[in-house]
Structure 1
């Protein structure tokens, strides 16, 4: 019996180490948290491991974390001291890292492994609600300098076989990422770009690829993403998604701006949460 094919995801991961926060700010993440907690119920079975394409790691070659026990990367600032001592002790998966490296290299894409890289907050803040027991093996994949959307799409195509090998591929970013304009100043640009993104992802495979290769021409694109590090993980997961349709699995006005997350592939019976995400 063949293994089931896994969907791919582009997830808005929120800000900083939010699952570990205490106090009123934590309440802003209620709906995002519920969407992430719902994710395992959307899968055909429990994955063998998760490959996270993180918007918080950029190298001159696609770099895969290969430590069996990754540490932590506290890549944020201005938070209380206790948030620089948290731990998310999920295991790594060196065998998966080797497989990812091999698939990228076979596609003539520059690739290397990094045995020192720990989990950045684009990974651990997202994975904490999904797998709170930190018992799911995780491998991270970097973006490549230049943010070429076509090349990152091709990287996703190279990684597509993992979906039939029990691996969940997740792109971690934000559908809106302009830190200087969260709140009222960013509300209209975020809504315009989010509307374009939803419409584009709902289109047929060729139409959505063509549109996303020229994403900077979208309404308010550069106001939503002055630097596209939090958008480019979407290109990788779409390359891996092939022709699979998109479903919005999270959407709200988050701290004044529109934010969304998407799943590609694997139809299922909707859960109660889907009504909130629509």
Structure 2
């Protein structure tokens, strides 16, 4: 099996793939970038591991059910968005493997057979694998958002890339809901510029050090008052920490004014 790249994906807002009548072309660029991930990966993965910003726990937790349900973790959307189904199967064996890798690395992890798919998972996966026939396992982020812990978790999970598992970190490179519009334009651009520089231009050791000190970046705390939507980036990078990054989605008019990006770590298929 080819070693698969990892990704940090800006997943958009709520159940947007099911609201094209309301949003029109607002998500066209993001959708195209997600669709293209399947091409970049080049092979059919054995399964997908989603590190989701919408699941926080005190210890790493892995969804281990065989047929995960749905979690509609949003409010104020049309009634039909609370009937969405993304019927991808779970994969208990992969969940156990993820937990084992984390535990062996000294990062306590447990299983949760009841956890369903949250919108950070199903909204992002729907354009990539619309048939929902790819086994999907979710990994939580840890309370406290410690960059070093999440980078280390990524390192522990790196062997999965040689086992046909596609690791997708699902968050958003700008996540300040009070400034989702023109008021966030300057901060999102400044933080995105820093992120592009760090991920694309710095050597691995310096890249990691910069991310450990991410809160010193320009407009960092405006871009992420709570860094839950940045945390999956650290896991995705940790699993490919010596490999080059590529920007696979970049838009400076998200929600009319915001600059947001997604990144791949490791090589795309030829």
Task: Please state if 1:150 is matched with 2:151.
Answer: no
Give the match for residue 197 of structure 1: 195
Give ranges in structure 2 of 5+ residues lacking alignment: none
Structure 2 Cα separation of the partners of residues 250 and 267 of structure 1: 14
Work out which of the residue numbers 112, 117, 120 in structure 1 matches 2:118. Answer: 120
Taking a change above 3 Å as real, the CA distance of residues 101 and 268 of structure 1, as seen in their structure-2 partners, is: closer
Q: Structure 1 runs of 4+ off > 6 angstroms? A: none
Give the match for residue 266 of structure 1: 267
Q: Which secondary structure does the structure 1 equivalent of 2:137 belong to?
A: strand
Task: Please state if 1:180 is matched with 2:178.
Answer: yes
Root-mean-square deviation over aligned CA pairs:
0.9
After superposition, give the CA deviation of every residue in 1:184-232 in whole Å (9 maximum; x if it has no partner): 1000000000000000001110111000000000000000000000001
Q: Which secondary structure does the structure 2 equivalent of 1:91 belong to?
A: coil
8 Å CA contact 2:41, 2:268 repeated in 1: no
Deviation at 1:26, TM superposition (A): 3.9
Give the match for residue 236 of structure 2: 237
After superposition, give the CA deviation of every residue in 1:36-75 in whole Å (9 maximum; x if it has no partner): 0111110141100000000000001100000010000000
Structure 2 Cα separation of the partners of residues 134 and 196 of structure 1: 35
8 Å CA contact 1:19, 1:26 repeated in 2: no
TM-score by length of 1: 0.95
After superposition, give the CA deviation of every residue in 1:11-31 in whole Å (9 maximum; x if it has no partner): 000000000114241421011
Q: Which secondary structure does the structure 2 equivalent of 1:116 belong to?
A: coil
**Following superposition of structure 1 onto structure 2, how do residues 35-50 of structure 1 map, counting pairs within 5 Å?**
35-50=33-48
Give ranges in structure 1 of 5+ residues lacking alignment: 270-278
Deviation at 1:101, TM superposition (A): 0.5
Structure 1 Cα separation of the partners of residues 44 and 204 of structure 2: 27
Work out which of the residue numbers 79, 85, 97 in structure 2 matches 1:99. Answer: 97
TM-score by length of 2: 0.97
Q: Which secondary structure does the structure 2 equivalent of 1:244 belong to?
A: coil
Structure 1 Cα separation of the partners of residues 149 and 178 of structure 2: 29
Structure 2 Cα separation of the partners of residues 109 and 7 of structure 1: 23
Give the match for residue 273 of structure 1: none
Q: Which secondary structure does the structure 2 equivalent of 1:168 belong to?
A: strand
Taking a change above 3 Å as real, the CA distance of residues 178 and 46 of structure 1, as seen in their structure-2 partners, is: same
Give the match for residue 4 of structure 2: 6
Deviation at 1:242, TM superposition (A): 2.2
Structure 2 Cα separation of the partners of residues 26 and 153 of structure 1: 37
8 Å CA contact 2:173, 2:260 repeated in 1: yes
Deviation at 1:108, TM superposition (A): 1.0
Compare 235-244 and 18-27 and name the one that shifted more: 18-27
Structure 1 Cα separation of the partners of residues 143 and 20 of structure 2: 35
After superposition, give the CA deviation of every residue in 1:62-104 in whole Å (9 maximum; x if it has no partner): 0000001000000001101111111000000111000001000
Compare 130-139 and 24-33 and name the one that shifted more: 24-33
Work out which of the residue numbers 61, 77, 85 in structure 1 matches 2:83. Answer: 85
